[in-house]
Amino acid sequence: MPQVTLTVNGKQHTVEVENRTLLVELLREKLALTGTHVGCDTSQCGACVVHVDGVSAKSCTMLAVQAAGTSVLTIEGLAKPDGTLHPMQEMFREHHALQCGFCTPGMVMSAIDLVNSHPAGITEQEIRDGLEGNLCRCTGYHNIVKAIAAAHPLMHGKA
Amino acid sequence: MPFEGIGASVRRKEDARFLNGRGHYTDDINRPGQLFAYVKRSDRPHAKINGIDSSAAAKAPGVAAVFTGADMAAESIGGLPCGWQIHNKDGSPMAEPPHPVMAVGKVRHVGDPVAVVIAETKQQAKDAAELIAVDYTDLPGVATMAAALAPGAATVHDDVPGNVCYDWHIGDKAIVDGVFASAHKVVRLDLTNNRLIPNAMEPRAAIGDYDVNSGEYTLYTTSQNPHVIRLLMGAFVLHIPENKLRVVAPDVGGGFGSKIYHYAEEAIVTWASAKVRRPVKWTAERTESFMSDAHGRDHVSTAEMAIDAQGTFLGLRVSTQANMGAYLSTFAPCVPTYLYATLLAGTYKTPVIYCEVKAVFTNTVPVDAYRGAGRPEATFLLERLVDAVAHDTGIDRVELRRRNFIPADAFPYQTPVALQYDSGDYQTTLAVALKNGDWAGFETRRAAAKAHGKLRGIGISTYLEACGIAPSAVVGSLGARAGLYEVANIRVHPTGSVTVFTGSHSHGQGHETTFAQLVVDQLGVPLDQVEVVHGDTAKIPFGMGTYGSRSLAVGGTAMVKAMDKIIAKGKKIAAHLMEASVEDIEFANNTFTVAGTDKSKTLTDISLAAYVPHNYPIEELEPGLDETAFYDPKNFTFPGGCHIAEVEIDPDTGMVAVVNFTAVDDVGRVVNPMIVEGQVQGGIAQGIGQALLEAAVYDASGQLISGSMMDYTMPRADNLPNIHVATENTMCTHNPLGSKGCGEVGAIGSPPAVINAIIDALRDYDVRHMNMPATGEKIWSIINAGPSKLAAD
């Protein structure tokens, strides 16, 4: 059985996996990081989104062995050690951008990548289009869009 | 100090764990020594099971056991019960065929459980399941109600002739027929309500954990109502007494009704855990959810409105076929009857109504309540019919509604379909919605869109619904087999903090925050000193759970009643401590005072005295400050409102964009405006999804074609507009909060608003009706068939 070494939330791990083990399974089952969720089996829903080397990736559509040598950031690694929330987490709370919370980890991680890749500014339509890979059944997205728009200036130092 | 009581948009306490990935969902739970279950399901819609050979599977790597329906039958395991008995027109009870946990003798839908493999890993269980050989003889399947009702059709259940579960009605047909015979005009509409798949983002999961030492079973499950599961599974399926069965529903990732029912997998893992003497864990794959979670809606109806020359509604006559699927799910029979036909007055003073409903078995997944449960079906029918009346008579759509509204001074209003509405002001919600949605300015927007080659339309829906379920005796007389009260236990701790144990179970509604706000309001305890506990039958005396927009109206009222008891007891203690008579004690803002003096004691002084009863009226009063209330509501509640959808169609593609959505809803007392808005927005998103995107599709043979999210269109952020929600409230008159509930109104009012808007956009093509979903293909076909072609579907 192969071993894969990767950094997760700043800590290095070496984990024994099967060839067919998905990255999300490694995170949830081997590292007990259950914040990343599985919501579908066709790569549509985005509940599994994490950052791999700074870019969002659907961890259900990546093999664990593909993540060897990478640095993975999950929802558990976002807040500071003293509990201070990332601006995106803060804005999700402020704007009621979550209800059941199941899509939230993947939604937040996707949203951070989306805002990171639009440093000059982001329109409402760009936010909606950029969330194409994330499903939410509870909120209707209205407040998620608001939260992301509000997080943009906080993340790009223009608050 | 920020205000955190009733009316404050307090930010949610539960967000702290959800935002940090520390939610505690069922699949996050792992029990020591657990095995994994994989359910083998029928891949065909209708077949006799001649035999199941699981010998190869049993010997596969890691496999602990393989079980089938025959194994359960051998131990007298009961079938999954139905919680509501409907009667036919002739008074006889509905057909109630057996619903075995795993199929016995026959499989009746694609997805019907046939066997379960229990193994060391999920993959080993799944691999072994492929080695199970099922010897089937295929039978003809009936995938639609039309096929099921055709003469000579195959029967889904051998002892249910013609596949009719029941043939029910409400109203006096003779009277209604008489009104129709003499009416100035009758407007008729044939319509369907499309089958939907709820698809909460968290797939269902269950863990059965049998303790070999104590003989106690624990079931962890993605349920909206753990006590109901304990009751149904313990009493009717596995025959386990309540004191030996604990059901825990931890964080649940959305439900929308689909997680109400007692499902086979719950019984399977609980039972199997005792057989293998280790915990057994099952988690659905999404494709599996598509063929095992209860589906929603699926009606075919004919609706007729009799009117006079001014468009006054004289009578309504409806005939509906409702799909039950292959088996009766827990609440299925009541959805197209008492949650549907009783809403056919809507906001109108139609004096006579008759509705007959035929419930039909088909070789499809069982159908049960899904957000709105019967009321979206009633509202779609009514609001489409009203627009059809406007279309056929030339009377303005808004004016027609105004003319027929129940006036604001007519409450309490007894409808001709059993329900008595307590309060409402439909003229006002309409007026506010018309203003918020700028109805008056629409024609200018239509012309501007036309200049850009787009077809713009606006549509309205004025509706109400019945929720806050329900008065137990009333629903009992209508066939319910359970009570529908709710329970709250308020525990004031010695040092003044409060724990609320509630039988409600939030799965996104934010109860940990809103329920705490009720305590802030009534007991004056700060929000951060209130904890709300839900979801564990070991901690909470009882409960009926969260669905039917009942948690605030019924669960919240139970809390209010329990707090009333706390205050009453507190006053006696305060009277003793302050040497006054109890009649002179007042309570407000966390403080007991002697009227007319400056003597006071805080709730904390009282609670400390209650648990350390040294200076205490011990002869008259037990120590402690811990009260429970069971609240049985007096009536349903009747929220409702006015929804306005504005759409723009691209004639080249037929694609519809919802460019604006305005909702004005009457939800009674609002505890947390932010949460109410979120509930309405989410419901509207599902309603727009139903109107434009979603359809559960079977082929003629009964294969589920829309079998995954690849083929079932879930609404995404770029399918939806900003959703403008406002409330214009009249208080519920029969609960102390005045709350009517808001969880489902969004999904109820919105679909007809969207379809009415599309038909308005296509007015040059003279479309009289369109069923949902209004896909690009449907609309493109209408446009390309040319103007003046009447289209029905």
Taking an 8 Å cut-off on Cβ atoms, the answer to whether A40 and B286 are in contact is: yes
Is it the case that residue A1 has pLDDT exceeding 90? no
Taking an 8 Å cut-off on Cβ atoms, the answer to whether B202 and A76 are in contact is: no
Is A134 touching B (CB cutoff 8 A)? Answer: yes
* B626/B650 same-domain check: no
Degrees to nearest 5, angle at CA B99 with B93 and B101: 155
Of A89, A93, A102, the CB nearest to B254: A102
What does the pLDDT look like over B140-195, one tens digit per residue? 999 999 999 999 999 999 999 999 999 999 999 999 999 999 999 999 999 999 99
Task: Tell me what the mean pLDDT of segment B433-453 comes to.
Answer: 98
Q: Is residue B259 part of a domain?
A: yes
- Residue A131, classified by CB atoms within 10 Å of its CB into exposed (0-12), middle (13-18) or buried (19+), is buried
- What residue type is B668 in one-letter code? G
* B394/B417 same-domain check: yes
Q: Which of B565, B599, B631 is the last residue of a domain?
A: B631
Structure tokens at B733: 């008159």
* B591/B655 same-domain check: no
Is it the case that residue B372 has pLDDT exceeding 70? yes
Is B22 touching A (CB cutoff 8 A)? Answer: yes
Is A16 touching B (CB cutoff 8 A)? Answer: no
Instruction: Using a pLDDT cut of 90, give the percent of chain B over it.
Output: 98
Backbone angles phi, psi at A128, to 5 degrees: -60, -45
Domain containing residue B125: CATH number? 3.90.1170.50
Mean pLDDT over each residue of chain B, to the nearest integer = 97
Taking an 8 Å cut-off on Cβ atoms, the answer to whether A75 and B286 are in contact is: no
* B379/B501 same-domain check: no
* Contact between residue B684 and residue B746 where contact means Cβ atoms under 8 Å apart: yes
Task: Tell me what the mean pLDDT of segment B244-259 comes to.
Answer: 98
Domain limits for position B658: 299-469+635-785
Is it the case that residue B791 has pLDDT exceeding 50? no
Q: Is residue B308 part of a domain?
A: yes
* B304/B269 same-domain check: no
pLDDT of residue A25: 98
pLDDT of residue B792: 44
Nearest one of B697, B653, B649, B703 to B44, comparing CA atoms: B703
* B605/B653 same-domain check: no
Structure tokens at B747: 């999904």
Task: Tell me what the mean pLDDT of segment B559-587 comes to.
Answer: 97
Task: Tell me what the mean pLDDT of segment B71-81 comes to.
Answer: 98
Q: Is residue B150 part of a domain?
A: no
- State how far the Cα of B231 lies from the Cα of B99, in Å rounded to an integer: 17
First to last CA, chain A: 49
Q: Is the C-alpha dihedral spanning A108, A113, A117, A119 positive or negative?
A: positive
Q: Is residue B793 part of a domain?
A: no
Task: Tell me what the mean pLDDT of segment B566-582 comes to.
Answer: 97
* Contact between residue B712 and residue B706 where contact means Cβ atoms under 8 Å apart: yes
Q: Which of B578, B610, B631 is the last residue of a domain?
A: B631
Q: Which domains are delineated in chain A?
A: 3-76 (3.10.20.30), 87-155 (1.10.150.120)
Q: Is residue B774 part of a domain?
A: yes
B2 pLDDT tier (thresholds 50, 70, 90): confident
- What residue type is B136 in one-letter code? Y
* Contact between residue B748 and residue B465 where contact means Cβ atoms under 8 Å apart: yes
* B569/B685 same-domain check: no
* B596/B673 same-domain check: no
pLDDT of residue B790: 46
What residues contact residue B7 under an 8 Å CB cut-off, 6+ apart?
Answer: B670, B671, B673
Task: Tell which A residues from 64 to 103 touch B, by Cβ distance under 8 Å.
Answer: 74-76, 78-79, 85, 89, 92-94, 96, 98-103
Structure tokens at B589: 């803002």
* pTM for the full predicted model: 0.97
Enclosing H/E stretch for B442 = helix B442-451
A157 pLDDT tier (thresholds 50, 70, 90): confident
| Residue in chain B lying closest to A87 (CA) | B19
| Residue in chain B lying closest to A80 (CA) | B20
Task: Tell me what the mean pLDDT of segment B353-361 comes to.
Answer: 98
Nearest one of A4, A144, A125 to B19, comparing CA atoms: A144
Cβ contacts (< 8 Å) between B674 and chain A: which residues?
96
* B65/B111 same-domain check: yes
* B100/B247 same-domain check: yes
Best of B716, B742, B745, B754 to disrupt the A interface by mutation (most A CBs within 10 Å)? B716
CA distance A82 to chain B (A): 13
Task: Tell which B residues from 729 to 748 touch A, by Cβ distance under 8 Å.
Answer: 746
Quote the ipTM score. Answer: 0.98
Nearest one of B170, B755, B750 to B463, comparing CA atoms: B750
Task: Tell me what the mean pLDDT of segment B518-545 comes to.
Answer: 97
CA distance B160 to chain A (A): 36
pLDDT of residue B788: 46
What does the pLDDT look like over B187-227, one tens digit per residue? 999 999 999 999 999 999 999 999 999 999 999 999 999 99
Q: Is residue B23 part of a domain?
A: no
Is A39 touching B (CB cutoff 8 A)? Answer: yes
Is it the case that residue A158 has pLDDT exceeding 80? no
pLDDT of residue B786: 61
Q: Is residue B10 part of a domain?
A: no
Is A8 touching B (CB cutoff 8 A)? Answer: no
What does the pLDDT look like over B297-306, one tens digit per residue? 999 999 999 9
Q: Is residue B221 part of a domain?
A: yes
Q: Is the C-alpha dihedral spanning A110, A114, A117, A120 positive or negative?
A: negative
Number of domains in chain B: 3
Domain containing residue B587: CATH number? 3.30.365.10
What does the pLDDT look like over B395-436, one tens digit per residue? 999 999 999 999 999 999 999 999 999 999 999 999 999 999
Q: Which of B225, B254, B283 is the last residue of a domain?
A: B283
Structure tokens at B764: 């040059």
Residue count (chain B) = 793
